[in-house]
Each structure stands twice: as structure tokens, then as C-alpha cells.
Amino acid sequence: MNTTFTIGGDLTVNRLGFGAMRITGQDRRGVVSVSERPCDRDEGGFDRPGPGKWVENARPERLREGLDGSLKESEQFDALRGFQREGKIRHVGLSEINVEQIERARKYFEVATVQNRYNQADREWEPVLEYCEKNDIGFIPWYPLNVGKLAGDAASALAWLLNRSPVILPIPGTSKVKHLEENMQAR
């Protein structure tokens, strides 16, 4: 098994990373000890006022705002292409996206990575993973351990992901050094 992946043809990374979403969570001290050395999603009908907080907001104006934002996809893609040409960003990654959307984005720029929910128990995005494999696009599964609900230990679940596809780049988060060390045993 290859332990590295090259994103966008020029950025080589270790395939097993560290998810940092918990840094903004309640166990900040634990996460800081692990990492001693926005990823917010705009989801229709919900606002995220702070770490670990989701507030329902299905008011018509909020739903319209979310929908209008989604309908401006070509403008967003065009802006990202411009930022890349200006040297402001090196690679573009997408999150919570399907194959059709990836193909639309690729008309504007090379998609370097895709981040969708994926783990042993939840394989809804299998077609996206297969597309990424065929096109050498990194696939970053969020929620890779299904918050401990998967059978076996974390290292086994991560090993399954790493062995499932050479483009999978898991980034499990933890706020405990013990769990970090367990995750690092994945092979």
C-alpha cells in the first residue's frame, strides 16, 4: 500500500491525515494537546453560529439565500479559476458533490480533491469515489470512523479505507492522544 498521494500532480501528502474540526469543539484542550505540533457547510435550513452548534433556520429568506447561492455555481467556478490563475490558490477541492457536479467543475479547473462523507457503514458516495479513482482525484472521506459506531477498532476502520482505494485520504479527528496513536496504527 502506498502511504502517500500526490494532489494536483505536485503536492505529495501522507494518505492518513488529522481532521482538525474538533479544534473548534468543546474539548479544545484535548485537541491542542494532540496537535501540538472552514470547513463549515452552508446547509439549507440550518445556520452554524459557533463550534458544534446547528440552529434550525428554515425561514423563506434563508432558504432562498441557500438556493440562490447554489444556483450561482458557474460564477463560483469561474471565480475559483480566476483565483488560481492569479496565484492566490494552488489547488481546488470540492465538498459534498456528485459526479455530475465534478464534471461541471472540471470545465473550469482541475479538481484536486473531493471531500464527501464515506466509511465502512456509509458508502452512499461510492460512485464519486470510483470517479475519483479513474481520474486521479484525491478522495477525502469525512466521518471516516462513523464516530466509533463501526465494528472493530479505529485502526481497522482506517486500514479498510486506506486499502479500499489508493486515492482515499482519511482525516480522522480526535481530541485524545491515545486515539491519535491508535489511528496511526492503521495499515
Q: Per residue in 42-88, pLDDT tens?
A: 465 667 777 667 777 777 787 777 667 665 778 889 988 999 999 99
Q: Assign domain 4-39+90-183 to its CATH architecture.
A: Alpha-Beta Barrel (3.20)
Give the rounded distance of the alpha carbon of 112 from its chain centre.
12
Residue pair 20/35 in contact (Cβ under 8 Å)? The answer is yes
pLDDT score recorded for residue 112 = 97
Tell me the Ramachandran region of residue 55: left when phi exceeds 0, alpha when psi lies from -120 to 50, beta otherwise: beta
CA gap 170, 31 in Å, rounded: 18
Q: Beta 4-7 vs 11-14: how paired, if at all?
A: antiparallel
Q: What is the pLDDT of residues 8-42, one digit of tens each?
A: 999 998 888 766 555 555 555 554 554 443 233 34
pLDDT score recorded for residue 102 = 96
Neighbours of 40 (CB within 10 A): 10
Residue pair 126/117 in contact (Cβ under 8 Å)? The answer is no
The 3-class secondary structure across 19-55, one letter per residue, is ECHHHHCCCHHHHHHHCCCCCCCCCCCEEEEECCEEE
* Predicted TM-score (pTM) of this structure: 0.71
